[in-house]
DNA sequence: CTGAAAGCGCTAACAT
DNA sequence: ATGTTAGCGCTTTCAG
């Protein structure tokens, strides 16, 4: 645990002032070529790198884009990959921050992260699935799949209703008539849209809506267990379930297995998102693909445009059915 | 783009000094209960959050663990997920930084990131597959799968030799006797260990080692094309190939297909890593699984121990064979 | 119990 | 061309 090498150490070793070192490093003019090269040699010898923190306190610009997430789960990670790839070759580094982990309450994590990092440290932010309305921010922001409407400066999201309808129609076309829905967090707009897509597909097919067939999954594995059990414990259980996201779909399948049901023979399950685990699970999970990588790239495009002075934008990406092995015709 | 709310704004609005606000926020004693509650009310009203940057300049401790990667690719993302999960419920937030994106050269990205963030901003770092020797650092560091030996303070890595031996033995047990190896970057220790595992499995089975059956793949798709062609163009080509990682295995299969060979009928291929793409490829790629999530969790455990004053550790995780569809008995 | 002042590492005026 | 100074937002002695 040696002490950090500071600009001060470099100045001292080079026999010049701190200001001169700063100018040399940042290529400002007003430094003699000989001094310049001497300073740079000392910098190399000492292995000096400026502290991001100190630099960002003084500068307005840091060259870092922040990706703010509640938690590093598969959905956010795929997005992060897209963001990172899209930022290759630009002058920006990526910094991803999961801010709600230590904070007691998940609510408002985005506001907290944004004000802790914004204005300093990051030049702009991409916020993944924020659940509250945006705070007054000091940097340009793009929200991906915001959960509370369009009040965010710029947004990138998938057309949830269409995707959910496609998933439900897929089950209907296989011959299912008792179709359950393991829904997402009902306080989130995406969950409401997905339920709406589910209902409209049922209605379009002339199937009745049965409130007993809708259980809560909360988009999370742990929160889905009870709902999955509840659906399967019904006197007249569903033969197919549309889960609001892949994590709850995977949990749905696990619970089905635990109860002695085979997927897809006894129960068809379809999810939403298409996280990597969906394709590698056995059986492979049928789902509705969100083009996460492309969404990350779109967010970057919009953010860079805002950084360059451009206005707000709302990007809507299509969701696409990915029928795989977890859905089949009902056996009864 | 409104201005950030600073501690100054809070002090002014509350009619107290900046120092008092700081004490109130951080629960230091020496603040009257009434002042305390008044200040906290103003903090809430204004939505103030302290700047991570400013705080970390003054404090030694920030409550943030840094995960430093060259780039957000699948391997690093899986690790990140493990780290993040393991950090749930602790007092630490996670900050992941990809530092080589804007930097021209990839070499030494870990040194750069470490000195830009260490000492300030992060209390400890988990560095993913660093390629150089460790710099003198100002915070505890754990290296995951370091590529240049054990000079890092603490390390977490997979037992490459055993994994490679298991992969080769799998091919031998299927009846193959002419087994090729598409090796990794020979400047990296993991690649050398994997080749060693391959050789020792051959030796243990009494099979001769043939240098012509070893080609370079460099761990990357683009670098594997030539080696894959070379192996298949031999007068007496291999009936099975152990590729040093999944990316080169996938390329091996692509090249085989291009040359009119079917996998696994005409050629068996096995990889290493078990990235998500391995399981979703058709045919599913047999491989050796690195327990990435568990490795991330192990890194957290070691780092937290070091942060609490514990000594260095080297954790070695077992790699596990995942036989899937790309390997079968030889047809000739 | 409260506030004034110093300083973390750095950059940007402003002297010299 | 170089150095001096001020200050970014915050925490921490140290006086009052």
Listed by start position, the domains of chain A span 7-50, 64-157+292-316, 160-290
Give yes or no for residue A164 having a pLDDT over 90.
yes
CA distance B169 to chain A (A): 24
Q: Which nucleotide is nearest to B17 (CA to C1')?
A: C3
pLDDT confidence of residue B136: 76
Place of tokens 């996938």: B250
A92-134 confidence digits (pLDDT tens): 999 999 976 555 555 578 888 998 898 789 999 999 988 887 8
Secondary structure of B198-266 as H, E, C letters: HHHHHHHCCCCCCHHHEEECCCCHHHHHHHHHHHHCCCCCCCEEEECCHHHHHHHHHHHHHCCCCCCCC
Band (A155; pLDDT cuts 50, 70, 90): very high
Name the residue in chain B with its Cα closest to that of A285.
B280
Q: What is the pLDDT of residue B40?
A: 95
Return d(Cα B303, Cα B116) in angstroms, integer. Answer: 19
B27 touches strand C (CB under 7 A): no
Are B174 and B239 within 8 A, CB to CB?
Answer: no
Q: Using the beta-carbon criterion (under 8 Å), do B137 and A92 form an inter-chain contact? A: no
What is the Cα A48 distance to its own chain's centre?
Answer: 35
- The encoded tokens of residue A3 equal 């002490």
Mean pLDDT per 10-residue section of chain B, whose length is 332 residues: 88 95 92 94 92 91 92 90 92 89 64 86 93 82 83 92 98 98 91 97 97 95 96 97 96 97 97 88 94 96 94 95 96 74
Nucleotides of D under 7 A from a protein CB: 1-5, 7-14
Q: What is the pLDDT of residue B91?
A: 87
Q: pTM, whole model, 2 decimals?
A: 0.86
Q: Which CATH class is domain B7-50?
A: mainly alpha
CATH code reported for the domain at A160-290? 3.40.50.2300
Contact between A98 and B97 using a beta-carbon 8 Å cutoff:
no
Contact list in A for residue B5 (CB cut-off 8 A) is: 115
Task: Indicate if B160-290 has the same CATH topology as B7-50.
Answer: no
Chain A nearest-CA residue for B71: A84
Asked if residues B205 and B144 have their Cβ atoms less than 8 Å apart, the reply is: no
- Residue, of A89 and B167, whose pLDDT is higher: B167
Task: Copy the structure tokens of residue A20.
Answer: 């001169």
Q: Quick one: pLDDT at residue A104? A: 52
> Which pLDDT does position A29 carry in this prediction?
87
φ, ψ of residue A93 to 5 degrees: the values are: -95, 160
User: What are the tens digits of pLDDT across the range A232-253?
Assistant: 999 999 999 999 999 999 999 9
Q: Which residues neighbour strand D (beta carbon < 7 Å)?
A: A 15-20, 23, 29-32, 34-35, 57-58, 119-120; B 4, 6-8, 18-19, 22-23, 25-26, 28, 30, 50-51, 54-55, 57-59
Closest partner CB to A80 (pick from B48, B77, B135)? B77
**CATH fold label, B64-157+292-316:** Rossmann fold (3.40.50)
Report the nucleotide nearest the CA of residue B61, measured to C1'.
D11
């Amino acid at each position: 645990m040696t002490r950090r090498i500071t600009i001060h150490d470099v100045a001292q070793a080079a026999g010049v002032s701190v200001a001169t070192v700063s100018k040399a490093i940042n290529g400002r003019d007003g430094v003699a070529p000989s001094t310049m090269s001497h300073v740079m040699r000392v910098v190399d010898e000492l292995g000096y790198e400026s502290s991001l923190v100190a630099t960002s306190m003084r500068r307005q610009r840091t060259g870092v884009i922040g990706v703010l997430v509640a938690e590093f789960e598969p959905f956010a990670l795929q997005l992060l990959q897209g963001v990172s790839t899209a930022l290759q070759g630009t002058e920006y580094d990526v910094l991803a921050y999961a801010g709600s982990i230590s904070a007691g309450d998940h609510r408002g994590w985005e506001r907290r992260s944004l004000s802790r990092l914004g204005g300093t440290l990051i030049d702009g932010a991409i916020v993944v699935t924020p659940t509250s309305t945006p705070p007054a921010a000091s940097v340009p922001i793009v929200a991906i799949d915001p959960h509370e409407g369009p009040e965010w400066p710029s947004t990138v999201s998938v057309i949830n209703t269409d995707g959910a309808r496609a998933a439900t129609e897929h089950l209907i076309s296989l011959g299912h008539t008792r179709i359950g829905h393991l829904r997402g967090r009902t306080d989130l707009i995406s969950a409401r849209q997905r339920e709406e897509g589910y209902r409209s597909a049922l209605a379009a097919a002339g199937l009745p809506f049965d409130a007993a067939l809708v259980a809560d999954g909360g988009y999370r594995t742990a929160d889905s267990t009870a709902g999955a059990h509840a659906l399967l414990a019904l006197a007249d259980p569903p033969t197919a379930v549309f889960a609001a996201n892949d994590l709850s779909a995977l949990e749905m399948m696990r619970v089905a297995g635990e109860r002695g049901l085979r997927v897809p023979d006894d129960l068809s399950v379809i999810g939403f998102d298409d996280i990597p685990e969906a394709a590698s699970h056995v059986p492979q999970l049928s789902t509705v693909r969100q083009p996460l990588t492309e969404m990350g790239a779109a967010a970057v495009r919009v953010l860079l445009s805002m950084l360059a002075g451009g206005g707000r934008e709302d990007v809507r990406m299509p969701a696409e059915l990915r029928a795989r092995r977890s859905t089949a015709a009902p056996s009864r």
